[in-house]
Chains A and B, each alone.
Chain A
């Protein structure tokens, strides 16, 4: 397996624009996590899914953020409208069950100007 795949790797956008980040988890993994990493706040859990169902979205900072998982092989994190304070690295991770390792994608570095 190619691991967790995220796209794009880098995104630069203007304030107010819609941004969509994409994630393909490892095949067979039933948990998918979205994190945001900044120097100030470290790794923050935004939302996680189990079997394509959102379980806990309490980490989503505002209504501007939304996430979907339409099937077991694809998830999106959308920010609309984007703001400069959304600039961060966004990571996706996946895991099979609760007793196995989680694996991370390479991240998407988002810059909102």
Chain B
């Protein structure tokens, strides 16, 4: 059974810092990986989808990488802002989607 782990569970940084969130999974036979953010009391918002044939995907200040062989993905956030404060979740995709527990990010002004 696929196990998805996200480290750290929580992270607090001052505004302007660059940061990395980690996602690891136990079964490398995945199709894709998707990163989401979730604001308190809200649904999940898609950030990036990395297909298995890709190693990297970028959207604005966000860059996500995928290394299937090692079972790892990272989400890099450049020049963090208070508006980035949220919980970030990764989902590994075969036909279904399995989620990690998330990283709760706080960016302090």
Q: Give chain A's interface residues, CB within 8 Å of chain B.
A: 31, 33, 35, 42-43, 45, 48, 50, 55-56, 91, 93, 95, 98-107
Cα distance A33–B94 in the bound complex, in angstroms: 13
Give 4 nearest A-B pairs by CB, closest first: A104-B44, A43-B99, A106-B43, A104-B43
Q: Taking the complex as formed, is B89 at the interface, i.e. its CB lies under 8 A from any CB of chain A?
A: yes
Contact string against A for B residues 88-105, beta-carbon threshold 8 Å, 1 for contact and 0 otherwise:
010101111111111000
**Cβ 8 A contact of B99, one of A42, A50, A99:** A42
Cα distance A102–B32 in the bound complex, in angstroms: 11
B94: A residues at CB distance < 8 A: 98
Task: Judge whether B96 and A102 touch: CB under 8 Å.
Answer: no
Give the number of chain B interface residues (Cβ < 8 Å). Answer: 23
Name the distance in Å between B97's Cβ and chain A's nearest Cβ.
6
**Cβ 8 A contact of B31, one of A42, A45, A55, A99:** A99
Task: Judge whether B42 and A42 touch: CB under 8 Å.
Answer: no
Task: Judge whether A48 and B32 touch: CB under 8 Å.
Answer: no
Name the distance in Å between B61's Cβ and chain A's nearest Cβ.
19
Name the distance in Å between A87's Cβ and chain B's nearest Cβ.
15
Give chain B interface residues in 53-108, CB to chain A under 8 Å: 89, 91, 93-102
Q: A99-B31, A99-B32 are in contact. Are A48 and B96 (CB under 8 A)?
A: yes
**Cβ 8 A contact of A42, one of B32, B36, B102:** B102
Name the distance in Å between B10's Cβ and chain A's nearest Cβ.
13
Q: Most A CB atoms within 10 A — which of B32, B45, B46, B97? A: B97
A105: B residues at CB distance < 8 A: 43
**Cβ 8 A contact of B34, one of A43, A91, A101:** A101
**Cβ 8 A contact of B32, one of A35, A98, A103:** A98
Task: Judge whether A98 and B95 touch: CB under 8 Å.
Answer: yes
7 examples of A-B residue contacts, CB within 8 angstroms: A35-B99, A42-B100, A55-B96, A99-B51, A102-B46, A104-B45, A107-B43
B32: A residues at CB distance < 8 A: 98-99
